Amino acid sequence: MRIIPAIDIINGQCVRLTKGDYSTKKVYNKNPLEVAKMFEDIGINHLHVVDLDGAKAHHIINHKILETIATKTRLKVDFGGGLKSDEDLKIAFESGANQITGGSIAVKNSSKFLDWLETYGSDKIILGADCLDQKIAIQGWQEESDQEVLEFIKDYVTKGISYVICTDIAKDGMLQGPSFDLYETILNTITPVKLIASGGISNFDELPKLADLGCEGVIIGKAIYEGNIALKQLETYQLNHL
Catalytic residues: 8, 130
Long-range (24+ apart) CB contacts under 8 A made by 225-233 are 225/16, 225/28, 226/175, 228/175, 228/202, 228/203, 229/201, 229/203, 229/204, 230/204, 231/38, 231/39, 231/42, 232/42, 233/204
What is the pairing mode between strands 46-51 and 125-132?
A: unpaired
Residue type, position 202, single letter: S
Asked if residue 2 lies in contact with residue 45, where contact means CB atoms within 8 angstroms, the answer is yes
Residue type, position 174, single letter: M
- Residue 27 β-bridge partners: 15
Rounded to a whole number of angstroms, the CA Rg of the chain reads 16
Interior angle at CA 169, CA 192 and CA 50, nearest 5: 80
- Which DSSP string corresponds to 159-213? TT--EEEEEETTTTTS-S---HHHHHHHHHHS-S-EEEEES---STTHHHHHHHH
